[in-house]
Amino acid sequence: MIQRIQSLYLLLITALMAAVLLCPLGVLTNNAGAFEFTAFSVKSGTVSVQPMFPVWILGALAALCTAIAFVTIFLYKHRGIQIRLCTVNGVLMVLFYVAYAMLFFAIYRDVDVDYNPDFTIALPLIALILDILATKAISKDEALVQSLNRLR
């Protein structure tokens, strides 16, 4: 199971998306002070701020991507399901960036703030690239198994 390269890709996806859940995505600053923008909330120190947009959507998408990647590792006997789950995971990572862009523009439209993104916002993109690589590796395995079935 873990000796397959796609399992390593999926494990890295799990780690990267877990880092998105745990690390801040950026810092919002305005006249009132600095606010930490995380996957689930906007905080000023220890006080959580209720923004006019649902920030928890980013956290939910990141958590779902983490769970799907982790579960996909253990479905190594079912390569068709693995390919479908990797495709779904890729779509969810793209939706993460769509939701991020919508929230970003909502922040700029409603409130006058400066936004300094953190390196964490690039991690889903790296995970998306790894997801594509995992899908290709799983497809190669499936093609190899199908060619061996024809020989029998």
Per-residue pLDDT tens digits for 54-76: 888 999 999 999 999 999 999 88
The pLDDT tens digits for 97-111 are: 999 888 888 777 767
CATH value at residue 71: 1.20.140.150
DSSP string, the chain: -TTSHHHHHHHHHHHHHHHHHHS--EEEEETTEEEEE-SS-EEETTEEE--SS-THHHHHHHHHHHHHHHHHHT-TT-HHHHHHHHHHHHHHHHHHHHHHHHHHHHHHHHS--EEEE-GGGGHHHHHHHHHHHHHHHHHHHHHHHHHHHHH-
Domain that holds residue 26: 5-151
What pTM, to 2 d.p., does this model score?
A: 0.87
- What is the tally of structural domains in the chain? 1
